[in-house]
Structure 1
Amino acid sequence: MKGGPARQGASFPPPRLPAPADTQAAPLVRLRPRLRPLMAPLALLGALFVGLFFRLGGIPLFDVDEGAFGEATREMLERGDYVSTWLNGQPRYDKPILIYWLQAASVQLLGLDEFALRLPSALAATAWIAAILAFARRFLGRDTGHAAAFIAASTAGLTVIGRGAIADALLNLFLALSMFDIYRYAVEPRPALRRRAFLWIGLGLLTKGPVALLVPGAASLLFFALRGRAADWWRALRDPVGWAILLAVSMPWYLLEYGRRGDAFLAGFFLRHNVERFLSPLQGHGGSLLYYLPAMLLLLLPYTGLFLRTLPGLRRMKATPLDSFLWCWFLFVLVFFSLAGTKLPHYLLYGATPLFVLMARRRRELRSTLLAFAPPLLFLALVAALPRLLERFAPGIRNPYMREALGRTEAFGTAWQLGVLALLAAALGLALWRGAALWRRLAAVGLLCSLALTGLLLPALAELQQGPVKEAALLARRGGWQVHGWRINMPSFSVYRGAVTPATASPRPGQVILTRSDALDALAAQGPFQLLYRKGGIVLARLPE
């Protein structure tokens, strides 16, 4: 019948209707759970690359420290002396031997350049971050472990130290490993854990000396005492096997060096670079008791706001054994080095590892957009304003060397300025965007700040301060000049020239002198000279016969 129901058995194809939205998105929905576990590891790998390996060999060595370590390593290879270190032909007692061995091995494998000299530190910093990941993941879960490692990898202080051809990244690795094993031992008192901590301390002693024993020993004592377990700490300390491991690792080099240098080694290394460093400012590096408070805010960029949000947790430091352990570690380092006569910002990094874990643990408690994003945005704004600030203030600096070094504009090309403005705009957009959790947006901004530091700021500073040093050294190398240093301390010059640059107390006729532009008046007072090179305050001059 017309208009009636279809006959039974009649077949009509169903209409082609659009698929429901959830059906269309099903493949993507299925894909997201598979990708989610990979996001944190991929973000961490990106932070490691940007913070530690991006342009690692693309900028000159910084003086004094990188230049001194680099030249001591070059002279080690030149002399074939793998026990004692020398700097410009003079004994160097500043640090133990391990970092020089690692740098020498890297140079032997890759050739003498900035990348080879910095690679051991970058690898040590990578291992340091991996140790943070393993520890935090074990005691606080996978997400917090990745967050702690990411914070560490993209923090300004660790980035700078981890890229430096110096001993501190390696020392921080051994401090972290020893302290983490001490806590594992506190939770599960197995002799193997205790003895492994002794091993790390021994390697730390071979890296930078007594501080590698002081920090784990004193900080762990505070922790055990706070938890009412001082007797357990004392029993662990008296482990003869542990001490045998520590001494077997560290003492052979100390005995060999003492056998060669005798009392000069004791006076130079132990008295001057350890005892005197604590009792009085060494090489002018002093400061007040509050020195490390502003230093801490800078070292922890771009997570300064997260640190301030974490700080009230100090009131709950006895809430759990882990809280007690982390706060005791940080507080000992802060108090001890605040009392020390010699103060340098990177000393605070010996106590930064527990802060990375604490900040990761409290990251979701940060809810203030202003507190989270003001520090990184201010940092990026200052980087963007750096060329204008130098143009404004450099001409008024009285010291000729500083005026010439900071008055060069070639380090800030158009690409540099467009790059920093793009990073600032992206960071501002992330701060204002509400489409993701605040912590995730802060982590993304942290990666942008790390890129600004390693890709823009450090290369520009290196060009301003060190570019002329390298250029002058290569010129002297091509000319085959025998150069003496006078009123200047730029050991990287010797690295690039491939030869020792002895210091002279008084320039002599016929010598080629490396000096600074603020010493030219004093040089002219000794007689006429021929200017061979002058740029950025770095001068090469020849005195006539």
Structure 2
Amino acid sequence: MRPPGQDGEQGSHASVTTAPAHGDGRAATLPASVAAHLLPLLALALAVLASLFLGLGTVPLFDVDEGAFSEATREMLARGDYVSTWLNGAPRFDKPILIYWLQAASVTLFGMDEFALRLPSALAATAWIGAIAVFARTRFEGADDPGTGYAAAFIAATTAGVGVIGRGAIADALLNLFLALAMFDIMRYATDGQAAQRRRVYLWIGLGLLTKGPVALLVPGAASCLGFALQGRLAAWWRALRDPLGWAILLAVAAPWYLLEYARRGDAFLAGFFMRHNVERFMAPLQGHGGGILYYLPALLLILLPWCGLLLATVPAMFRAVLPALRRRRMASDDAFLWSWFLFVFAFFSLAGTKLPHYLLYGVTPLFILMARARRAPHPAWLVLAPPLLMLAAVAALPYALERLAPGIGNTYMREALGRGEVFGGAWRAVAGLLLGAALGLALWRGAALWLRLATTSLLCAGALGGLLLPAVGELQQGPLKEAAQLARREGWDVQRWRIDAPSFSVYRAAVTPSTPAPHAGQVILTRSDALHTPQLAGAQILYRKGGIVLLRVRN
């Protein structure tokens, strides 16, 4: 299969002979223009399937984020309340409503399980990748650079960041879709000046506000301002900002829910959503998620695995191309917006108090396009191919590393959670070894083009992430919790949590699991094995214990 972006040399009227199809010896032919699009499209579809849908419903929900979103959706359906969200019986102000509506619709159609809860994110990530393909094809492809759209989408589909976030039952894949659609229409408007393009931007921002809040307005607003400024066209940005019909569209989409939620919860909504989860999140680390000013440099390399080598190889040429235009403040329109988009997100979240790797995804879409545009330049093969090889080697070595390291871990919970060698069966290890061997063979195959080798090894990495790594990590961390919840549901136990935050337990138990300040006699408690040594649990009856997860009945 030809990788995305490696179109043939034939013109639009050439044809490709497929096989003799007629009795007189005439050959059936396929137009080269069709083949040039069909094969990359098939490769892109395979990448999306491997990265986003392979085993989507087989991995347990990860805590805390997936568990919290999923439990809030379960409680929405149980309460019949489609305006306010709740988590284990308490008001939840973390995110707006749209992702919960989509999860609720999916669960109603397919049932309350991991597949249904994750499906909206997987579909949103698929649409995000598709939007990249369409935009890059129409803006950057030409006779001298065919296939850029498919290449950019393929890079996006096979990065670790998109693969992980697109499989998560959380709001970020949906937000990234709306951010990309908004920025793409901003770029179209900057060159075409059509009112419909400008007003679609307001629509996408409105949907983003319903997905994750003010960041959906901040990123395209600030990035577009910088982009117009780099072209010396701030007056055009200001005119677009004063579009009354655009603002009417945005408010019609987003305002009704915000007003309804404020009418219900009043100042608690303002304090919980706007102040704590937006203003305070920028001002100080929340829930221990802090980091230094350079936090996002290594995070960027991890998010872009296995493509970070291509990024490192192309960055010097990228900067050499844009620096003269920056000094003149007359950068080409598309370059101005692509760089403003990435650099604003990188700088803003580097200054924020709360730091999480996936925040950087709000600004990596332009990097997918920039890397695709630079893919044919000569690059050091060792630099480009080293990251996918290291990634696959790390996956293959994981079970052996845990076997060696887990027994020496001092914390009881961590030792029991990571010491479950049965998770990595013989088939798992064999497949991991085969993927690594195939990648090594491709790296050594000097007769093939570097882009072909990199694209193929990246596809192997996507399969390893979705088919091996995430299922294994999910079973280590969440498998026992799911088993414990299903046991509690079968036995009809009224369970409370102590010293553990695991909202997925409530999803699998199909009931609210409140936290208790202190265990009392007769209670069934969910906790971790590192809490068993406390006096409050002395003499407790162990009902379930596996992988550091414990269900017990308090006796004293």
- TM-score, structure 1 normalization: 0.94
Query: Compared with structure 1, are the counterparts of its residues 526 and 517 closer, same or farther at alpha carbon in structure 2 (3 Å cutoff)?
Result: closer
1:345 to 335, 338, 357: 357
CA drift at 1:527: 4.1
Query: Compared with structure 1, are the counterparts of its residues 450 and 82 closer, same or farther at alpha carbon in structure 2 (3 Å cutoff)?
Result: same
Q: Which residue of 1 aligns with 2:544?
A: 533
1:534 is aligned with what amino acid? Answer: R
State whether structure 2 residue 424 is matched by structure 1 residue 419: no
Deviations 1:429-466 (A, max 9, x none): 11111232111111011100000000000000000000
Instruction: Map 1:373-452 onto structure 2 (within 5 A).
Output: 373-452=385-464
State whether structure 2 residue 104 is matched by structure 1 residue 104: yes
Instruction: Map 1:145-544 onto structure 2 (within 5 A).
Output: 145-312=149-316, 313-317=318-322, 318=325, 320-522=332-534, 524-525=535-536, 527-544=538-555
Query: Compared with structure 1, are the counterparts of its residues 303 and 526 closer, same or farther at alpha carbon in structure 2 (3 Å cutoff)?
Result: closer
SS at match of 1:513: strand
Q: Distance in 1 between matches of 2:273 and 2:536?
A: 38
CA drift at 1:27: 8.1
Answer whether contact 2:313 2:380 (CA < 8 A) is retained.
Answer: no
2:319 is aligned with what amino acid? Answer: L
Deviations 1:306-334 (A, max 9, x none): 11122121342335221111011000000
Q: Distance in 1 between matches of 2:337 and 2:437?
A: 40
Q: Which residue of 1 aligns with 2:6?
A: none
Q: Distance in 2 between matches of 1:227 and 1:429?
A: 46
CA drift at 1:368: 1.4
Q: Distance in 1 between matches of 2:523 and 2:237?
A: 61
Answer whether contact 1:314 1:327 (CA < 8 A) is retained.
Answer: no
SS at match of 2:211: coil
SS at match of 1:112: coil
How many positions carry a matched residue from both structures? Answer: 523
SS at match of 1:410: helix
Decide which moves more: 108-117 or 359-368: 359-368
1:55 is aligned with what amino acid? Answer: G
Answer whether contact 1:366 1:439 (CA < 8 A) is retained.
Answer: no
1:429 is aligned with what amino acid? Answer: G
Deviations 1:84-110 (A, max 9, x none): 000000100000000000000000000
Answer whether contact 2:130 2:153 (CA < 8 A) is retained.
Answer: yes
2:469 is aligned with what amino acid? Answer: L
Q: Distance in 2 between matches of 1:526 and 1:370?
A: 56
SS at match of 1:195: helix
Answer whether contact 1:309 1:366 (CA < 8 A) is retained.
Answer: no
Answer whether contact 1:182 1:194 (CA < 8 A) is retained.
Answer: yes
Decide which moves more: 281-290 or 140-149: 140-149
Query: Compared with structure 1, are the counterparts of its residues 208 and 290 closer, same or farther at alpha carbon in structure 2 (3 Å cutoff)?
Result: same
CA drift at 1:528: 2.4
Deviations 1:265-299 (A, max 9, x none): 11100000000000000000000000000010011
SS at match of 1:541: strand
Greater Rg over alpha carbons, structure: 1
SS at match of 2:514: coil
- For structure 2, list consecutive stretches of 5 or more residues without a partner in the other structure: 1-16, 326-330
Q: Distance in 1 between matches of 2:295 and 2:213?
A: 24
SS at match of 1:509: coil
State whether structure 2 residue 94 is matched by structure 1 residue 94: yes
Deviations 1:96-138 (A, max 9, x none): 0000000000000000000000000000001101110111001
Deviations 1:244-270 (A, max 9, x none): 110110010001001111111111000
Decide which moves more: 28-37 or 462-471: 28-37
Q: Distance in 2 between matches of 1:366 and 1:120?
A: 39
CA drift at 1:28: 8.6
Answer whether contact 1:366 1:372 (CA < 8 A) is retained.
Answer: no
* C-alpha RMSD of matched pairs (Å): 1.7
Answer whether contact 1:533 1:539 (CA < 8 A) is retained.
Answer: yes
Q: Which residue of 1 aligns with 2:55?
A: 55
2:470 is aligned with what amino acid? Answer: L
Q: Distance in 2 between matches of 1:311 and 1:340?
A: 25
Query: Compared with structure 1, are the counterparts of its residues 532 and 161 closer, same or farther at alpha carbon in structure 2 (3 Å cutoff)?
Result: same
Q: Distance in 2 between matches of 1:497 and 1:490?
A: 12
Q: Which residue of 2 aligns with 1:7?
A: none
Decide which moves more: 146-155 or 24-33: 24-33
2:491 is aligned with what amino acid? Answer: G
CA drift at 1:519: 1.0
CA drift at 1:529: 1.0
CA drift at 1:349: 0.2
Deviations 1:479-501 (A, max 9, x none): 00000001100100000001000
SS at match of 1:365: coil
Query: Compared with structure 1, are the counterparts of its residues 403 and 249 closer, same or farther at alpha carbon in structure 2 (3 Å cutoff)?
Result: same
1:342 is aligned with what amino acid? Answer: T
SS at match of 1:405: helix
State whether structure 2 residue 139 is matched by structure 1 residue 139: yes
Answer whether contact 1:281 1:342 (CA < 8 A) is retained.
Answer: yes
1:386 is aligned with what amino acid? Answer: L
Query: Compared with structure 1, are the counterparts of its residues 453 and 101 closer, same or farther at alpha carbon in structure 2 (3 Å cutoff)?
Result: same
SS at match of 2:41: helix
Q: Which residue of 1 aligns with 2:80?
A: 80
Q: Distance in 1 between matches of 2:55 and 2:169?
A: 14
Q: Distance in 2 between matches of 1:37 and 1:134?
A: 12
Q: Which residue of 2 aligns with 1:14?
A: none
CA drift at 1:518: 1.0
- TM-score, structure 2 normalization: 0.92
Q: Distance in 2 between matches of 1:304 and 1:366?
A: 16
Query: Compared with structure 1, are the counterparts of its residues 434 and 543 closer, same or farther at alpha carbon in structure 2 (3 Å cutoff)?
Result: same
